[in-house]
């Protein structure tokens, strides 16, 4: 099995109450508008969402993948999206946990894990076997970190007013 992975885990503090922070991170349009590489998040008839993401990969160029995710938690303390049942090739897990600091500040822990699985490297791209899953994962990790850092900085700016 050819696997490419990347993850992100960061805690930020924003200048809104927990309900305001939760509303912001629950609005998927914010990801499309504020995060480079997220081309679209579309609602599907079954209630799942299709996240379409583009990422640069060395030698190969840009790869665009779609991830079907199901909402698995939506409480005052946590929002979570996981791979939809039956997803085996493109897996996306996203969560945001909210901890009030006081009436006007909230700590938000954001986690993202992306995994692309293929039977053979060439199922991902003709050159993927030559480049290798380790190198592609390293570049995807760099790209995901950059995307999420930009997103969290823009989110903090927006929420801190």
Please report, in tens digits, the pLDDT of each residue of the chain (161 residues total). 889 899 999 999 999 999 999 999 999 999 999 999 899 999 999 999 999 988 776 666 777 889 999 999 999 999 999 999 999 999 999 999 999 999 999 999 999 999 988 888 777 777 667 777 888 788 888 888 999 999 999 999 999 98
Q: Tell me the C-alpha distance between 102 and 153, whole Å.
A: 21
**CB under 8 Å to 136, separation ≥6 — which residues?**
4, 57, 58, 60, 124, 128
pLDDT at 122: 78
Give the H/E segment covering residue 61.
strand 61-74
Could you list the residue range(s) of the whole structural domain that residue 103 is in?
A: 2-160
pLDDT at 58: 61
pTM of the full structure: 0.88
pLDDT at 109: 98
- Which structure tokens are listed for 117? 């699985």
pLDDT at 59: 63
Number of domains in the chain: 1
Which residue matches tokens 């909402």?
71
pLDDT at 57: 67
pLDDT at 140: 83
Give the H/E segment covering residue 154.
helix 133-160
CATH assignment at residue 96 = 3.30.530.20
């Amino acid at each position: 099995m050819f696997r490419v992975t990347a993850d992100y885990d960061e805690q930020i503090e924003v200048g809104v109450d927990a309900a305001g922070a939760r509303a912001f991170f629950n609005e998927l349009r914010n990801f499309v508008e504020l995060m480079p590489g997220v081309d679209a998040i579309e609602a599907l008839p079954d209630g799942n969402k299709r996240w379409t993401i583009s990422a640069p990969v060395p030698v190969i160029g840009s790869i665009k993948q779609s991830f079907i995710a199901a909402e698995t938690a939506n409480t005052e303390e946590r929002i979570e999206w996981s791979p939809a049942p039956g997803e085996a090739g493109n897996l996306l897990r996203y969560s945001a946990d909210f901890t009030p600091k006081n009436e006007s500040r909230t700590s938000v822990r954001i986690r993202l894990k992306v995994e692309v699985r293929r039977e053979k490297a060439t199922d991902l791209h003709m050159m993927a076997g030559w480049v290798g899953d380790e190198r592609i994962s390293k570049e995807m990790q760099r790209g995901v970190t950059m995307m999420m850092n930009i997103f969290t900085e823009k989110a903090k700016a927006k929420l801190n007013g």
